[in-house]
Amino acid sequence: MVYEGRAPRVPAHLKASGREVWRAVWQAGAGAYSPETDRNVILRYAELHDRRADLLDLIHAEGLSVVGSTGQPAIHPAMRFVESTERELRAIENAIGFTPEARMRLGIVAAEARRVAASPADF
């Protein structure tokens, strides 16, 4: 099903990174995403981009290395959260077709659906 309406308004709580991502996803989707069914996934994706940007800003301000509990150099503890946020982002990117592999997989699914719709008597 192709959604032909306008993209939803950018949620007010999104920060700069999230707002940019929100607009880019709805524009790139060009009717592939429905506000009724896909809004929450795309919102989560935009919010995760905001979280990632905040974490990277913190790391940039404080430095990638910090002093560990015994005085040794250590990676900034926020890097753990950057990594987990990026894992969540990758999962959503795969779900919404934002990787070449996901687009190929979704394209194959879409082609199969078109084939079935064109000749349902065969199934």
Write the pLDDT tens digit of every residue in 8-52: 999 999 999 999 999 999 988 777 888 888 999 999 999 999 999
Residue 28's closest CA among 45, 12, 11, 7? 7
Determine the pLDDT at residue 107: 72
Determine the pLDDT at residue 118: 60
DSSP E strands: which ranges in the chain? 65-67, 73-75
The span from the CA of 51 to the CA of 45, in Å, is: 10
The span from the CA of 122 to the CA of 58, in Å, is: 58
The span from the CA of 97 to the CA of 105, in Å, is: 8
The tokens describing 36, both together, are: 């009724």
Mean pLDDT of the region 80-103: 92
Determine the pLDDT at residue 109: 61
Q: Maximum distance among all alpha carbons in the chain?
A: 72
Determine the pLDDT at residue 108: 60
Determine the pLDDT at residue 123: 43
